[in-house]
C-alpha cells in the first residue's frame, strides 16, 4: 500500500480535474473548484469549457491550481480563425493552459504538416499560456500515425502532448502513451505528457507514472511535465491516501 499511496500523492498533484460534460453548469464548476482543493493538497489544474474560465478564476485565486480550457474541441476541425479567437478570449478571461485538438483527420488523409501549423498558430495566440496538443490517439489508431502526430505537435511548439478528448470510444492507453513518451524523449525538447480519458483507478494512474519513470527517468513526472486528465479518479486517489477502499468506477472522462 505504501507504494500505491506514494503514486496516489504524485498523481493527485498532477491531476487536471475535469468537467467537459455537455450539461455542465456554473454550479458544477463551483463544485469542481472546491473539489480540486483536497485535504491532501491541490490538484494541478482544473479543465473546463471556455465559457466558465472567468467564473473559475477568482474561485481559485491563491490556490496554485491552474485553469485549463479547450479549443478546437472535440472535433479538431473547426475554422482556424475561430480557434484563434477562442484562444485569445480564454486567455483574456484567465486561462493558464489551452488544451487544443489538432486536426487529426488531416493526418489520416496524409497531411500531417497541418497539425504543426495549427499548434504553431494557437501557441502564438495563447500569449504565454501553455498549450497542450490533443492528438486523439484512439481515432488515429495506427502507431505510425500516433508517432507522426506527436512529432508534428512537438514541432509546432506544444508544451504538452495529450492523448485524447475523452469523447471517443478509445481514449488514453498505455500503448499510445509509450509512443508519445518515446517521441518526446527522442525530440530532445522539454515537452510534457498528458493521458486523458479512461484513467479511473489509483493503479491506472500508477501505471502511467511508472511508464514515465521508465522512458523519461525517475523524477521526470512532475506537474510541470505530467498531467492526468480525469474527472472520476480523484475519489480513488483520495481513498488510497486515506487508506480506504476505492469507490466503484463508472464510465466517462
Question: Which residue in the block uniquely carries the three cell numbers 486517489?
Answer: 237
Instruction: Give just the sign of the alpha carbon dihedral 222, 223, 226, 227.
Output: positive
DSSP state of 247: P
Q: Is 162 a catalytic residue?
A: yes
Q: Which three cell numbers stand for residue 136?
A: 486523439
User: 134 forms bridges with which residues in the sheet?
Assistant: 101, 162
Choosing from 106, 132, 162, 200, the catalytic residue is: 162
How many angstroms separate the CA atoms of 27 and 32, rounded?
Answer: 9
Q: Is 127 a catalytic residue?
A: no
Choosing from 16, 96, 99, 204, the catalytic residue is: 99
Question: Which residue in the block uniquely carries the three cell numbers 504553431?
Answer: 120
Q: Are strands 192-194 and 160-162 parallel, antiparallel or unpaired?
A: parallel
Q: Which three cell numbers stand for residue 206?
A: 500508477
Q: What is the dihedral of CA 231, 237, 243, 244, to 10 degrees?
A: 20
Residues 6+ apart with CB under 8 A from 1: 240, 243
Instruction: Give just the sign of the alpha carbon dihedral 128, 129, 130, 135.
Output: negative
Is residue 12 within a helix (H) or strand (E), and if so which, with residue range? helix 2-13
Q: Is 200 a catalytic residue?
A: no
Choosing from 106, 132, 194, 200, the catalytic residue is: 194
Catalytic residues, which ones? Answer: 99, 162, 194
Amino acid at each position: 500500500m505504501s507504494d500505491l499511496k506514494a503514486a496516489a500523492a504524485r498523481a493527485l498533484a498532477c491531476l487536471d480535474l475535469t468537467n467537459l460534460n455537455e450539461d455542465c453548469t456554473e454550479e458544477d464548476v463551483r463544485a469542481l473548484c472546491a473539489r480540486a482543493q483536497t485535504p491532501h493538497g491541490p490538484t494541478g489544474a482544473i479543465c473546463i469549457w471556455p465559457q466558465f474560465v472567468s467564473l473559475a478564476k477568482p474561485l481559485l485565486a491563491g490556490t496554485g491550481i491552474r485553469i485549463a480550457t479547450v479549443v478546437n474541441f472535440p472535433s479538431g476541425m473547426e475554422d482556424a480563425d475561430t480557434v484563434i479567437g477562442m484562444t485569445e478570449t480564454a486567455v483574456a478571461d484567465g486561462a493558464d493552459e489551452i488544451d487544443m485538438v489538432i486536426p487529426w483527420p488531416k493526418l489520416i488523409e496524409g497531411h500531417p504538416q497541418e497539425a504543426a501549423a495549427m499548434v504553431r498558430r494557437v501557441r502564438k495566440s495563447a500569449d504565454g499560456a501553455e498549450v497542450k496538443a490533443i492528438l486523439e490517439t484512439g481515432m488515429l489508431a495506427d502507431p505510425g500515425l500516433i508517432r507522426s502526430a506527436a512529432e508534428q505537435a512537438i514541432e509546432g511548439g506544444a508544451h504538452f502532448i495529450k492523448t485524447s478528448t475523452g469523447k471517443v470510444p478509445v481514449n488514453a492507453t498505455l500503448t499510445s502513451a509509450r509512443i508519445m513518451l518515446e517521441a518526446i524523449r527522442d525530440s530532445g525538447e522539454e515537452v510534457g505528457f498528458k493521458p486523458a480519458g479512461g484513467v479511473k483507478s489509483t493503479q491506472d494512474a500508477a501505471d502511467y507514472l511508472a511508464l514515465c519513470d521508465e522512458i523519461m527517468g525517475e523524477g521526470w513526472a512532475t506537474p510541470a511535465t505530467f498531467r492526468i486528465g480525469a474527472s472520476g479518479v480523484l475519489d480513488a486517489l483520495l481513498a488510497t491516501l486515506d487508506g480506504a477502499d476505492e469507490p466503484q468506477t463508472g464510465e466517462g472522462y
